[in-house]
Structure 1
Amino acid sequence: MITYVIIGITVVVSYICFGDHELFRKLAFIPYRTVHNNEWYRLITHGFVHADMTHLLVNMFTFWSFGTYMESAFGYLGLGTGGYLGLYFGGMVAASLYDLARRRNDPYYVSIGASGAVSAVLFTSIFLDPWGKILFFAVLPIPGIIFGVIYLAYCQYMAKKAGDNINHNAHFYGALYGLIYPAILEPSLIKRLYLLLFS
């Protein structure tokens, strides 16, 4: 249920921002304004804003695909709605910290989208089910753990290469948060992961 609420709000806010550039600028993650104007809310609000319909649909479809499963899993594991919200919004914040530090004095840097949060959800699903199949390039099913390694390596490569207007650092750090978060929330899950991987 929470997954659908987040998707609904994100779709509505993103759609409004497509035609309202002033609102877009108010909600976007601009590290300079976040730090110098104390507009810390941007660490969250930028996740509700997207560049275009394709950006929005890709993020929300991926979130729906893994978020509904994660929401149920968190309930089953006793981690609750609060734990699930901590995953999504914590991932959003964690994905922004690198750029917050690096770009805090650059008034022209802008980042938007829920990709960091979605990466966190995706990688927590890999943590809980490392051998579950994920469609590579939406076609080839491969184990989640292998997908994860490829994804992280790709993010690092593209972040260094740059030039495609995609915040690969947000993807990378959101994904790392998704791997670490469930272990912090419930340390016994580390042993579970080990048994799933090596038994």
Structure 2
Amino acid sequence: MITYILIGITVAVSFLAWEKKILFSKFMMNPYRIHRNHEYYRFITSGFIHKDHMHLLFNMFSFYFFGLAVERVFGYVFGDAGAIYYIVLYLLAIVISDLPSYQKFKNYAGYNSLGASGGVSAVIFAFIIFQPLAPICLFAALCLPGFIMGTLYVVFSYYQGRKSNDNINHDAHLYGALFGLVFCMVLYPASISEFFAQIRQWDFLEKFF
């Protein structure tokens, strides 16, 4: 239920921002304005607007697929507090994933960032820590166990973030993902041993030969 609500809010706010360009500009994550004018709300609002329909569709489809699973796991592991922890995971990841970009670009007025990628990455990696062997597919073509795809994702995001030449905030992807892992490990330390116990059960030869 929480996943549906967050998706609904994100879709509604994104469409509203596309219609009202002033709102779009006011909601973006602009480190310079945050630093100079103390507009800290941008850390949150930027996670609820998207560049275009494809950006919105990709993020919300990923969030829908993994979010429902993580929401169920949190309910099972944390009981009634699961819904609160799930919301905190998502919203806090949006903020924390933007902190490196804020620090890097707080003196550059022209830098802007937007989208729910940091929160979505955190949810995906929360899914991986609980179900590392569940397959994750890249464009429905390449499917690998979550712990392998997650590792490749972290390496790719780190590498692309250092290049910074494609107008994508890879740092938000990377730090959102890492936050998702740390959040789950801190709240539920048993997830670490359960993660490695599942990895040890994986038979590489059986899967690929």
Per the TM superposition, whether the score is higher than 0.5 is yes
2:11 maps to amino acid: V
Shift of 1:188: 2.1
Q: How does 1:171-182 map to 2 (within 5 A)?
A: 171-182=173-184
CA distance, structure 2, for counterparts of residue 68 and residue 185 of structure 1:
19
Are 2:192 and 1:194 equivalent residues in the alignment?
no
Aligned to 1:44: 44
CA distance, structure 2, for counterparts of residue 187 and residue 145 of structure 1:
18
1:85 maps to amino acid: I
Aligned to 2:170: 168
Unaligned runs of at least 5 residues, structure 2: 202-209
Are 2:109 and 1:107 equivalent residues in the alignment?
yes
1:96 maps to amino acid: D
CA distance, structure 1, for counterparts of residue 7 and residue 74 of structure 2:
18
Shift of 1:186: 1.6
CA distance, structure 1, for counterparts of residue 44 and residue 104 of structure 2:
18
Aligned to 1:148: 150
Q: What do the CA deviations read for 1:52-99 (whole angstroms, capped 9, x no partner)?
A: 000000000000000011111100111511110111111111110101
CA distance, structure 1, for counterparts of residue 196 and residue 142 of structure 2:
26
Are 2:2 and 1:8 equivalent residues in the alignment?
no
TM-score (norm 2): 0.92
CA distance, structure 2, for counterparts of residue 161 and residue 105 of structure 1:
20
TM-score (norm 1): 0.96
Q: CA RMSD in A?
A: 1.2
Overall identity of the aligned pairs, in %: 44
Q: Secondary structure of 1:77's partner?
A: helix
Q: What do the CA deviations read for 1:133-160 (whole angstroms, capped 9, x no partner)?
A: 0012322221001101111111112122
Between 130-139 and 173-182, the greater mean CA deviation after superposition: 130-139
Q: Secondary structure of 2:84's partner?
A: helix
Are 2:30 and 1:33 equivalent residues in the alignment?
no
Q: How does 1:59-98 map to 2 (within 5 A)?
A: 59-78=59-78, 79-98=81-100
Aligned to 2:207: none
Structure with larger Rg:
2
Q: Secondary structure of 1:141's partner?
A: strand
Shift of 1:194: 2.4
> 131, 137, 140: which is aligned to 1:138?
140
Shift of 1:19: 2.2
Aligned to 2:58: 58
Q: What do the CA deviations read for 1:29-68 (whole angstroms, capped 9, x no partner)?
A: 1111112211111111101110000000000000000001
Unaligned runs of at least 5 residues, structure 1: none
CA distance, structure 2, for counterparts of residue 92 and residue 18 of structure 1:
20
CA distance, structure 2, for counterparts of residue 92 and residue 12 of structure 1:
18
Aligned to 2:205: none
1:16 maps to amino acid: L
CA distance, structure 2, for counterparts of residue 189 and residue 69 of structure 1:
15
2:140 maps to amino acid: A
CA distance, structure 1, for counterparts of residue 55 and residue 140 of structure 2:
16
